[in-house]
Amino acid sequence: MCFYTKQKEPIIASEDIKGYKIVVKTGSSEFVPYFVMNPPIEFDTVLINDSKLFMFEDPFMKEWEVTRGIFHIFKNVDPIKMCLHGHEVKNHPTDHIFVAEAIIPKGTPYFSGWSNAFTGDDETYASTNIIYKNPIQIGEFLKSI
């Protein structure tokens, strides 16, 4: 999942920014982010993506595409609902799919944009630092919204 933004440079979060991330349970207590199977997630701690930020400009569309060096999170739950209908989710047993709260900590550089993963306009944030919290099994999560 690539991330697109109109920002050439990140801005600094003036407060914690809350979002959501789909995560997959791969072991008895191990989770990884969905789409990009990064190293296992540690919950309730600041994770830092130390990959070099890689972004390039699309001069025709006047936007930037960021393909490496950030964590993506959804601003709201609507794209998560759409993802459940995607073919990729159907390849995982639903008892292995969870939604975690994702927080970009205050003082952290971040981008605001969209992922183009489902609708082409889902609001997404991206940052080099993220905190994952409270994974909820997808069925329970959908009942709660």
Residues 6+ apart with CB under 8 A from 44: 131, 132, 133
For the ranges 39-48, 64-73, 126-135, the maximum mean pLDDT occurs at 126-135
pLDDT per residue as tens digits for the range 103-120: 999 999 999 888 765 555
**pLDDT exceeds 90 at position 41:** no
Q: pTM for the complete prediction?
A: 0.79
Q: What b-and-e string marks burial along 62-90, b requiring 16 or more CB atoms within 10 Å of the CB? A: eebbbeeebbbbbbeeebbeebeeeeebe
